[in-house]
Amino acid sequence: MTAAWVVGRSGMLGSAIARALHDRPDWSESVGVGLPWSEGPDAVRPAARDAARRLLADADGGPWALIWAGGAAVTASSEADTDREFELFAAAFDGAAEALRPDAANGRFFVASSAGGVYAGSTNPPFTERSEPVPLAPYGRLKLRSEVYARSVAERIGVPSIVGRIANLYGPGQRLDKLQGIISHLALARLTATPASVFVPLDTLRDYLFVDDAAELVLAALDRLEVERGHVTKILATGEGTSIASLLGQLRAISKARPRVVLGASPVARHQARDLRLRSVVWPEIDRARTRTLPEGIGRTIQDIERRLRDGDQRATSSSVR
């Protein structure tokens, strides 16, 4: 059995990965105290070291995995904000590596990155792992910098690693107080009186990946990494491009009502590519872990937001996106 520590467990992707772990008899979750992000790198490093020791204790000499699904930055984040996030990321990875090095032979790393962030300025879509990353915003540069750092730590202590460049995530658990997650914001606009503000053209193409499918892909990639070892970069995506206009049509068909949308302008739009179609050419056979169609995922997302509104979730209030 593989013991896994999910960094960012309370977030959208992290919570989905935790659910997937509990559904698998060959995996277990090592759950400890959350890292003290607000206290800065000097506090994060020893806390990460302690959490990594807990992971090794839970693994009890068997296989383990550190799954990084954390991060607060979004496309609109400033250079200063992304620099602070990288300092925390590096401190956590360094602290964990200190504890994990003695049992590196049993370990694996997964680091979640952003396909949209790193390929925002790239040319000739659909983008694959062979495409040259060209980030346009501090957020994308943060993701590339984090990828490089995580791999350097993995190589230094002898742990195989995989970077997952993830498509646009959507589904239950999306934070609606952040400027991301267009499907959730459109669903919220359908259920409330507040319209969603859209700052990019309606023909903008994105690859939308349901969060539970993303979690299954993460675990499938880690299973494959246990066999092949090494250091791998893989795109986690559906391979299907969908325009915002199509999203509006599908949402209207599913909910039987027109979502309220206001088209606007924002400085953030200059960091957004018109066409971000994706296609993975690395380990494509594991992509069959994806099971939800876009209409199914949209329906699940609407149900989640309906529940959160009933429960009075204070984060289910904003509907301004991209």
13 and 153 together in one domain: yes
- List the structure tokens of 93: 């990875």
| Cβ neighbourhood burial of 222 (10 Å; 0-12, 13-18, 19+) | buried
Domain total for the chain?
2
- List the structure tokens of 183: 């499907």
Tell me the average pLDDT across 31-39.
90
Q: In the structure, what pLDDT confidence band is assigned to residue 76 with cuts at 50, 70 and 90?
A: confident
Q: Which residue has the higher pLDDT, 27 or 271?
A: 27
Query: Closest Cα to residue 69, out of 5, 159, 23?
Result: 5
- Whole-model pTM: value is 0.93
In a domain, 282, yes or no: no
Q: Nearest 10 degrees: CA dihedral of 37, 18, 177, 276?
A: 100
What are the pLDDT digits (tens) for 118-132?
A: 999 999 999 999 999
- Decide: helix, strand or coil at residue 27: strand
259 and 296 together in one domain: yes
117 and 16 together in one domain: yes
- We report the CATH number of the domain holding residue 140 as 3.40.50.720
Q: In the structure, what pLDDT confidence band is assigned to residue 321 with cuts at 50, 70 and 90?
A: very low
Domain carrying residue 271: 172-206+240-275+292-321
11 and 153 together in one domain: yes
* Residue 311 confidence (pLDDT): 85
What are the pLDDT digits (tens) for 7-20?
A: 999 999 999 999 99
CA–CA dist 101, 205 (Å, integer): 42
59 to each of 3, 8, 28, 111, 157, how far by Cα in Å? Answer: 5, 20, 9, 20, 18
Say if CB 96 and CB 52 are below 8 A apart: yes
148 and 10 together in one domain: yes
* Residue 8 confidence (pLDDT): 95
Q: In the structure, what pLDDT confidence band is assigned to residue 257 with cuts at 50, 70 and 90?
A: confident
Q: Which residue has the higher pLDDT, 246 or 272?
A: 246
- List the structure tokens of 265: 């302008």
In a domain, 281, yes or no: no
* Residue 192 confidence (pLDDT): 86
Is the model's pLDDT at 322 over the cut of 50? no
- We report the CATH number of the domain holding residue 300 as 3.90.25.10
In a domain, 298, yes or no: yes
158 and 95 together in one domain: yes
29 and 143 together in one domain: yes
193 and 261 together in one domain: yes
75 and 135 together in one domain: yes
- pLDDT above 70: percentage of residues in the chain: 94
In a domain, 284, yes or no: no
